[in-house]
Structure 1
Amino acid sequence: MLTNRGLEGGYGIQKPEIKQPLISEAASSSCSNGDKEGSVLMVLLSTFVAVCGSFQFGCALGFSSPTQSAIRNELGLSLYEYSVFASILTIGAMVGALMCGSLADYTGRKGAMRIAAIFCLTGWVATGVSKDAWILDLGRLSVGYGIGVFSYVVPVYIAEVAPKDLRGGLGTMNQLMVGFGISTVYLLGTILTWRTLTLTGIIPSLMLQLGLILIPESPRWLAKVGKQSECELALQRLRGKDANISKEAADIEDSIKIIDSLPQAKPLDLFQRKYVYPLTVGVGLISLQQFGGMNAISFYASETFVSAGFSSTVGTILLAVMQVPASSIGALLMDSYGRRPLLMISATGTCIGCLFTAISFVLKDLDQSEKISPILALSGILVFETSVALGMGGIPYIIMSEIFPINVRGSAGSLVSFTHWFGSWVITITYSSLMSWSKSGTFFIYTGVCGATVLFAAKLVPETKGRTLEEIQASIEHSSP
């Protein structure tokens, strides 16, 4: 594998060489000028509509936490039955993840979002009106399928419609709205009934369906399926009526022609030698994200606070309050500071947070510093969750949406999304057993994985800020082994 010691800030660690893109500087400059001249209002509207799916993602993740007692009491569910309800979301999401790439390639990015919204809407309504456990589970399963599709198609759509100088910041809106969704159900769950709380998923489903009427399809997908005139119309709407889109449209068309000249890609083609590097980056980042404890700590934060001797109510509210500001900071820094540095800072923060929490349990087990231990656990989890919101939660999906060529983006997206949900299922189902084995040991394991994430990001993850998708793919191609 080619290496470059001095790329983007010189971390002193070898990483794949990112050569100058094949696209001419003149073309890049022209695209940039066109972006600046054109209006970004349609891009912002398109992003807002797409992240209604991300908001549902967050609501679904957080819904089972504040509603546990109320649902069990009203429907007479055992702890096991409620555990099935909570965990079946990831099963549905895995099915959605396996299908999302093909679905988005066949129906378009808008078509995939429309189908996902229908599944989510149906699932939320079924959950809200359910009288029996099986209807509750089917509703949760349906929502899971929808968010499994959303977890792939939302960041891909945003990456494909955004101008290169805004793509990173707009891409983080995905994670921002996931965090906002989690915070919303945490807070509203303390004052609303669980049936009323399903409106947090129903309303954005309806908003997304209506919003999709107003926004354009991805120009790159339109070009991929041979609709060049529609591609140019969509690009003009996104860049503004007075923007010069000729160079950007030509670059997209040239990229598609190169892809079309290659044999038709099949799912197994993703494992060819030329895709080893982007596949390693995409799957590796998502795996490290999940096995570093992200979803497990989020799902069981309340239980962890109690185990550490801290108020679960106060801790949960603090988590909810901190999600959105941290995600907002990440969005502001994404295009100015870069993906890789922000990812390394975020991963370092998760490592420190897990270490603090592990030490708090060590002190608790030794019956020392009884006053410090709960505060240390609270600090650790807050640092962890804030760091996740800053970058580790959303950047892996932004990177995934940028580094794969469009001919394998569907298959790659399905694999990465499936890895996300499979990892989420494994880490959440093993969390209670690990905590029973050793609370401090559990968080020391997460500390090690988070530390490995820092090294992985420094050594392998490319910097993609300020580049068109075509430039990134040309660079990746020449950096592959």
Structure 2
Amino acid sequence: MSQHGLVMGFTAILLPQLRRRDSPIPIGESAGSWIASILGFALIGGNFIAPTIMAKFGRRTANLVSVVPALVGWFCILLAPNIVVLLVARVLQGISMGMSATLSPILIGEYTSPNNRGAFLTIISLSIAIGVLTVHSMGSYLSWQTTALICAFITFTDLLIIINSPESPSWLADQGRYDDCKRVFRWLRGDGEEEELKEMIEATIVVREARESVNISQTFSQTVKTKIAYFGSTLKKKEFLKPIFIMIHIYTLSQWAGANLLAAYSIDIFTHVIGSDANVPLMVITLDVQRIISNSCAIFVIKKVKRRMMLFITVAINIIAFLSIALYTYAKTNNMLPWFLNYAAVGIFLIHLHMFSIATGTVPLPFIIAGELFPLEYRSIAGGISVFFLSANLFITVKTAPHLFATLGIYGAYCVYAAVIVYCLVVAGISLPETKDRTLQDIEDEFRGRPLTVHELKSVQSLTSWRRHSKDRRCSSPFIQ
């Protein structure tokens, strides 16, 4: 996930260097906005690639595959002779980001226990913040080519880490590899959560038996009809639709909250708010440091505070920061600021307040919630669908930011962002259940309204009225994973 920070933050140091007169690849404002925003468009491709690999070949394999386009992208940037190659490189990196955005919260949610899940999922945003700080710091003193080379070596290190990481115990159980599942589960969590391991395996056995009973002697046409019926039935299920609906709004909130703006256009924002006289590169680095500190604090706070409360508090601060910056810049532009507020320190404080709300809430919480909401059966496809909206909103916000700044001013743009966030927060407040310290199965049962019965599990897998033997296997005993 540090790749997200490296890739997003790289724009902030790449574009100013390409705008110089001596740049080997001269660009205009339109080309610059495409370099920054095409990631969001490419993310969509990664969203659709990841679920298939995750479900069929495993989480670890999907993780390995996601690193390859990122690594190739950095070398393309390093050797880029023109803007076309730069755009291709950014597309490759966007595909990698789309895969990891879908995969990471799911994998971490399956790796970790309910008590520690929130803290581990918060480390996603900390990794992103470290990536942004790293690339901004290097870009302040090194050329964009040298920075890209160092990022490529960081990505290669990432590849080595994944090679030596285990597969998800949930996926191993789903594949019938119960001995491997037990070994990895105990390696990850120790021996203190045997009950959860036992329940997970028992539930998976039921699902596999039902799946195998349906696959026996099915013709191709029957298989197609089964899959179509299964998909149609899935679209009607509350435990499938509700998490996706919630995550669409949570991901939209996270992308309009300003994290990408401060990563990709941090120099432009500081220039708009405090002017060009200040040491803007130093201001950018201090902002990134504050982001890491705030992220680190969030890791400990998230273990104590309920998800909904933390969401409301941090997003409220985010809205206040947006509106305060809008009011401050409007008054400054129109020479309406009172003398005691007409200092660069005021603008710097407001930007840091904005970053604090992002680092403690609007960046880590969506990944935490995504790792807790989706049912195991639909985790891959539901994660991919919801992250599609993350990708679309990332593209829209980054692509339109220069145009909004130029036409509405930063004050008008920030009012638009605040309005979108208010809407998403209202929807999340109505729809989002509390997930702290609850098992994934318990959360799934709440969306459904009750625990799933064994008979329902089997009917989920079959959904075919022509199979008589499915009627003979009915059982009404409920289970809880």
Fold conserved (TM > 0.5)? yes
Distance change >3 Å, CA 200–CA 470, structure 1 → 2: farther
User: The residue matched to 2:304 in structure 1 has which SS?
Assistant: helix
Which of the residues 182, 188, 201 maps onto 1:253? 201
Matches within 5 A, 1:395-474: 395-439=365-409, 440-474=411-445
| Distance in 2 separating the partners of 1:454 and 1:466 | 22
RMSD of aligned alpha carbons: 2.4
TM norm structure 2? 0.82
1:70 partner amino acid: Q
Distance change >3 Å, CA 430–CA 131, structure 1 → 2: closer
Checking the alignment, whether the CA contact within 8 Å between 1:356 and 1:379 is kept in structure 2 is no
Which of the residues 41, 47, 60 maps onto 1:97? 47
Displacement after TM superposition at 1:435 (Å): 2.3
Distance change >3 Å, CA 464–CA 259, structure 1 → 2: farther
| Distance in 2 separating the partners of 1:107 and 1:304 | 43
Look up the match of 2:250.
285
Look up the match of 1:299.
264
Matched, 1:385 2:355: yes
Which of the residues 439, 446, 458 maps onto 1:475? 446
| Distance in 2 separating the partners of 1:400 and 1:409 | 10
| Distance in 2 separating the partners of 1:179 and 1:288 | 18
Matched, 1:308 2:308: no
Look up the match of 2:11.
64
Look up the match of 2:235.
271
Look up the match of 1:6.
none
1:206 partner amino acid: F
TM norm structure 1? 0.82
Gaps of 5+ in 2: 212-225, 452-481
CA offsets, 1:104-147, max 9 Å, x none?
Answer: 11221110110011111111112112223332222221111111
| Distance in 1 separating the partners of 2:350 and 2:424 | 18
User: The residue matched to 2:114 in structure 1 has which SS?
Assistant: coil
Displacement after TM superposition at 1:68 (Å): 2.0
Distance change >3 Å, CA 302–CA 70, structure 1 → 2: closer
1:131 partner amino acid: P
Checking the alignment, whether the CA contact within 8 Å between 2:63 and 2:103 is kept in structure 1 is yes
User: The residue matched to 1:190 in structure 2 has which SS?
Assistant: helix
User: The residue matched to 2:416 in structure 1 has which SS?
Assistant: helix
Look up the match of 1:179.
129
| Distance in 1 separating the partners of 2:25 and 2:430 | 52
Distance change >3 Å, CA 82–CA 114, structure 1 → 2: same
Name the count of aligned residue pairs: 425
Distance change >3 Å, CA 212–CA 441, structure 1 → 2: closer
User: The residue matched to 1:189 in structure 2 has which SS?
Assistant: helix
Displacement after TM superposition at 1:324 (Å): 0.3
User: The residue matched to 1:347 in structure 2 has which SS?
Assistant: helix
| Distance in 1 separating the partners of 2:370 and 2:99 | 15
Look up the match of 1:33.
none
Matched, 1:234 2:204: no
Checking the alignment, whether the CA contact within 8 Å between 2:122 and 2:367 is kept in structure 1 is no
Look up the match of 1:340.
308
Displacement after TM superposition at 1:402 (Å): 1.2
- Percent of aligned pairs with the same residue? 23
Displacement after TM superposition at 1:387 (Å): 0.8
Checking the alignment, whether the CA contact within 8 Å between 2:258 and 2:358 is kept in structure 1 is no
Checking the alignment, whether the CA contact within 8 Å between 2:64 and 2:163 is kept in structure 1 is no
User: The residue matched to 2:103 in structure 1 has which SS?
Assistant: helix
| Distance in 2 separating the partners of 1:178 and 1:479 | 37
| Distance in 1 separating the partners of 2:207 and 2:338 | 62
CA offsets, 1:339-398, max 9 Å, x none?
Answer: 221111211111111011111122124311276255443333221121111021121122
Matched, 1:147 2:115: no
Distance change >3 Å, CA 229–CA 145, structure 1 → 2: same
Which of the residues 113, 119, 125 maps onto 2:63? 113
Checking the alignment, whether the CA contact within 8 Å between 1:216 and 1:237 is kept in structure 2 is no
| Distance in 2 separating the partners of 1:208 and 1:181 | 12
| Distance in 1 separating the partners of 2:348 and 2:70 | 33
